[in-house]
Amino acid sequence: MSESAPRRRSRASAGLPPITADKIIDAAVELTAQHGLDGWSIRQISTKLDVWPGVVAHHVGDREAVVMAVTDRVIARIPVPDVSVPWRDWFSALMLEGRTVLRQYPGVARRLVVVGPNVPSALPTIDKGIKVLLGAGFGEHATEIYRYLLNSAFMLVAVEDDRDSYFPNARADMGRAMARFAADTSRPGLAAAGAQAVARSEDPERLAAEDLAFFRLTMERSLDGAQALLSA
Amino acid sequence: MSESAPRRRSRASAGLPPITADKIIDAAVELTAQHGLDGWSIRQISTKLDVWPGVVAHHVGDREAVVMAVTDRVIARIPVPDVSVPWRDWFSALMLEGRTVLRQYPGVARRLVVVGPNVPSALPTIDKGIKVLLGAGFGEHATEIYRYLLNSAFMLVAVEDDRDSYFPNARADMGRAMARFAADTSRPGLAAAGAQAVARSEDPERLAAEDLAFFRLTMERSLDGAQALLSA
DNA sequence: ACCTGAACACCGTTCAAGT
DNA sequence: ACCTGAACACCGTTCAAGT
């Protein structure tokens, strides 16, 4: 895992092209896809580019700056629906497509939710989303409802990321923990949850399908929750 | 910050009581209140207890084990409403009181949401919560609605934690970033959000009040979203 | 059983010196 | 301007040796 010695003589004298901020961020994005946003080090990036660690600081900045640059790149990949789409469909589409992009880069969803409009590539989406809600009649609530809806969806993606990137056995442990209570008549609430946990397989493909189903449930409940404000 | 040399001669020969797992976890809980769950190191715990780092591993296990022990302790402090309370009130109370406890221990909310029923002290709450939902007529949806409601509330607490523990200026940066768009007529969505950001003060007390208001909005919208399932 | 004391393999950041 | 090469102050974990 170390590969400690980068290269012998200077890049320039070896006829190699200079490192750029862009190349560093490319490498970081790739490492994020493989290991998540908290799964790589500055030193791994520098090893990958065959330079000394200090070079990353020189071109991009500290770790935080690299992370924000990766986040901006990934957010830019999320397709934004057209403003003519009805509000519920607009948000469903953004949430579902956002999820498939974000899930490929574990840890980015969390950053997005935490730093929000500090990510430049998120601005067009924010603009259109609020416009759509204003058009749907949410009035003064448009901004906070936008925040509520996107939080609901992408906070859940962040949890999905954490579950299988950072604590890979949390998923199975939880299932087994619950299944133990299936026959516990003294605790009917746990028993109900346990019964469903028993039915749940440990096949990763089925688990992924269940994650998607729960994501859709969250989406629909949150959209209903927002809609209740319109009827009031 | 280092204080690298713990103590001269052995604890036993100095007449000191032996370190226990409990004392280690006490120290970790205290450090979590001060610096958050990701804000302390095993070495800081050992310095605080005046022993060598290896002692923590000997009594509790690796960092992950210490973190789970802290999480369990903190969750146990959240008061659980009586099952006789109507479902909406039951969940409002749990969410609001859970928030005030969790906010005192930054980072614990995230763990709770990610590992869920793997935290032993969460089990009685899960049991009662599902019982309450079954009683309210949610039937087969009780388990997933429980998960949906608690996720909504505590994922948001996790984001609040991250915002001011880990990225202390994200809050102010976001406000300023949005305020810039208040007069941007070419982007009406951002302008609407910007106008509200301008109105927002940078006084920490007012910001805290606004965080609470948004938390309540999230709570009410999610409860409405769940309720929509009952009417259907 | 409990703890010391050290070693190991990592981190991110900084910076003088070379080219 | 760009990069080398090293140093600094940290990490978590492991483990032989002492008591």
Domain ranges of chain A: 21-74, 80-168+201-231
The residue written with tokens 């003064």 in the block is A140
pLDDT band at residue A21 under the 50/70/90 scheme: very high
Residue B137: its pLDDT value, please? 97
Question: Residues 58-87, chain A: which have Cβ under 7 A from strand D?
Answer: 58-59
Residue B229: its pLDDT value, please? 94
**Structure tokens belonging to residue A132:** 């759509």
Closest residue on chain B to A228 (Cα): B224
Q: Which of A37, A174, A190 to mutate to test the interface with B (most CBs of B within 10 A)?
A: A190
> In strand D, which positions have an atom below 7 A from any protein CB?
2-7, 9-16, 18-19
Measuring from the CA of residue A8 to each C1', which nucleotide is nearest? D4
Lowest mean pLDDT among A23-37, A191-205, B91-105: A191-205
Residue A198: its pLDDT value, please? 82
- Out of A77-81, A179-183, B199-203, the most confident range is A77-81
pLDDT band at residue A217 under the 50/70/90 scheme: very high
Angle in degrees, CA B120, B126, B131, rounded to 5 = 145
* B9 Cβ contacts chain D strand, under 7 Å: no
Please choose, from the candidates B31, B217, B172, B27, the residue with its C-alpha nearest in 3D space to the C-alpha of residue B107. Answer: B31
Domain A80-168+201-231 has CATH 3.30.70: no
The residue written with tokens 């990610």 in the block is B114
> How far apart are alpha carbons B129 and A185 in whole angstroms?
16
CATH architecture of A21-74: Orthogonal Bundle (1.10)
> How far apart are alpha carbons A227 and B224 in whole angstroms?
9
Question: How many CB atoms neighbour CB A205 within 10 A?
Answer: 8
pLDDT band at residue A177 under the 50/70/90 scheme: confident
Q: Please say if the pLDDT value at position A119 is more than 80.
A: yes
Lowest mean pLDDT among A83-97, A157-171, B111-125, B216-230: A157-171
Burial environment of residue B144 by CB neighbours within 10 A (0 to 12, 13 to 18, 19 or more): buried
Q: Which residues touch strand C (CB under 7 A)?
A: A 1-2, 10, 12-13, 40-44, 52-54, 57, 62-64; B 6-12, 18-19, 51-55, 58-59
Residue A204: its pLDDT value, please? 81
| Residues of chain B below pLDDT 70 | 1-8, 166
The residue written with tokens 């605790």 in the block is A187
Task: Give the one of B116, B163, B192 whose C-beta lies nearest to A143's C-beta.
Answer: B192
Find out whether A181 and A193 touch, Cβ atoms under 8 Å. Answer: yes
Q: Please say if the pLDDT value at position A164 is more than 70.
A: yes
Contacts of B113 in chain A (CB under 8 A): 159
pLDDT band at residue A14 under the 50/70/90 scheme: confident
* Those residues with Cβ within 8 angstroms of residue A150's Cβ, 6 or more apart along the chain or in another chain: A94, A95, A113, A129
> How far apart are alpha carbons A71 and A61 in whole angstroms?
15
To the nearest whole Å, the CA of A93 is away from the closest chain B CA by 19
Q: How many CB pairs under 8 A join A and B?
A: 163
> Residue A115 belongs to what H/E stretch?
helix A108-115
Alpha-carbon Rg for chain A in angstroms: 22
Please choose, from the candidates A154, A137, A156, A160, the residue with its C-alpha nearest in 3D space to the C-alpha of residue A88. Answer: A137
- In this complex, do A127 and B151 lie within 8 Å of one another by their Cβ atoms? no
Measuring from the CA of residue B52 to each C1', which nucleotide is nearest? C4
> How far apart are alpha carbons B142 and B121 in whole angstroms?
20
Condensed to tens digits (0 to 9), the pLDDT of residues B149-162 reads 999 999 999 999 99
> How far apart are alpha carbons B205 and B194 in whole angstroms?
21
To the nearest whole Å, the CA of B49 is away from the closest chain A CA by 29
Q: What is the mean pLDDT of chain A?
A: 92
> How far apart are alpha carbons B84 and A19 in whole angstroms?
66
3-state SS class at B43: helix
